[in-house]
Structure 1
Amino acid sequence: MRAYYVYILASRSRVIYTGMTNNLELRLRQHRRKQIPGFTRRYNVTRLVHYETYDRAADAIAREKEIKGWRRAKKVALIEAGNPTWTDWGDELLGM
């Protein structure tokens, strides 16, 4: 069964970005290698600080849109509820 992910990346200065993918490892590598033009490359947003897994793409897309509609304070609260120190989970995910 395919999984879909909603993820939040952060820069060291805590600029945050929310995205959705069906391959979290690949997408994280792309962000870290600056292969995706735009916001994350411009602001060096490469640290995985939150993610959620869904069985259906529609559910992940809806959640991504929901989070993107939130004010920053609510996004920060979501991150800190599961990751209070903003640890980069990406290294573990990628086996680094």
Structure 2
Amino acid sequence: MSEELKSEWCLYLLECKNGSYYSGITNNLEARYATHLAGKGAKYTRANPPVRVLASKAYPDRSTASMAEAVLKKLPRAEKLGFFTE
């Protein structure tokens, strides 16, 4: 299946150089992480470069991944990693 036709999306959590977390959604985690590393990703990760992917979770479509991201962003930092094991 070509990358354009790929329908599975994922929610991901990055650890940034300053120790903070950054979450996002994508349909190609490897490419999106490379974009963040190159300083061409989100404004936040341009200022706070990522050091590693902490976790990711697959979702069937963009809408579901976006809703999961909204839930994740409301959680306290101490609970964010646990969200990926539910």
Query: TM-score band (shorter)?
Result: 0.7 to 0.9
Two-structure CA RMSD over aligned residues (Å): 1.9
Percent identical pairs in the alignment equals 26
Among 20, 25, 35, the alignment partner of 1:20 is 25
Aligned to 2:3: none
Whole-angstrom CA distance in 2 between matches of 1:19 and 1:55: 15
Runs of 4+ in 1 over 6 A off after TM superposition: none
Which consecutive unaligned segments of at least 5 residues does structure 2 have? 1-5
Among 33, 39, 55, the alignment partner of 2:44 is 39
Whole-angstrom CA distance in 2 between matches of 1:12 and 1:77: 21
1:40 touches 1:46 (CA, 8 Å); kept in 2? no
In the superposition, relative to structure 1, how do residues 37 and 55 fare at CA in structure 2: closer, same or farther (>3 Å)? closer
Which consecutive unaligned segments of at least 5 residues does structure 1 have? 82-96
Shift of 1:56: 1.7
Structure ranking higher in strand proportion? 2
Tell me the TM-score normalized by structure 1.
Answer: 0.72
1:31 touches 1:40 (CA, 8 Å); kept in 2? yes
Tell me the TM-score normalized by structure 2.
Answer: 0.79
